[in-house]
Amino acid sequence: MSEGAAARAAGGPATAPAAAAAAAAAAAAAAAAAAAAAAEQQQQQQQQQQQQQQQQQQQQQQQQWSS
């Protein structure tokens, strides 16, 4: 007999704490997923900025050589 079944047999509300725990776990998982997505997006932006900086440096070098 599970804790929930035992509590129901005893007349106690076992589902409320379990539902609250499940909701908290789901919220934590959603927050972790959002944080991971934000970190990935930030990393992509940093890579794009680095690529743009490299391109600008290359253009400046080409201009210096041509002048």
pLDDT digits over 52-65, tens only? Answer: 999 988 888 887 77
| Residue 14 CA neighbour count, 13 Å, CB half | 10
Q: How far is CA 43 from CA 31, 46, 49, 55, in A?
A: 18, 5, 10, 18
Distance in angstroms between the alpha carbons of the first and the last residue of the chain: 85
| Within a domain: 16 | yes
Task: Assess whether pLDDT exceeds 70 at residue 3.
Answer: no
The answer to the question of residue 7 being in a domain is no
Residue 62 falls inside a structural domain? yes
Domain membership flag for residue 6 = no
Residue 2 lies in a domain: no
**Farthest CA pair distance, the chain:** 89
**47 within a domain of the structure (yes/no):** yes
pTM: 0.52
Domain extent at residue 29: 12-66
Please write the tens of the pLDDT for every residue from 24-59.
999 999 999 999 999 999 999 999 999 999 998 888
- Report which residue type is found at 43: Q
**Domain total of the chain:** 1
- Please check whether residue 29 lies inside any domain of the structure: yes
φ/ψ (deg, to 5) at 23: -65, -40
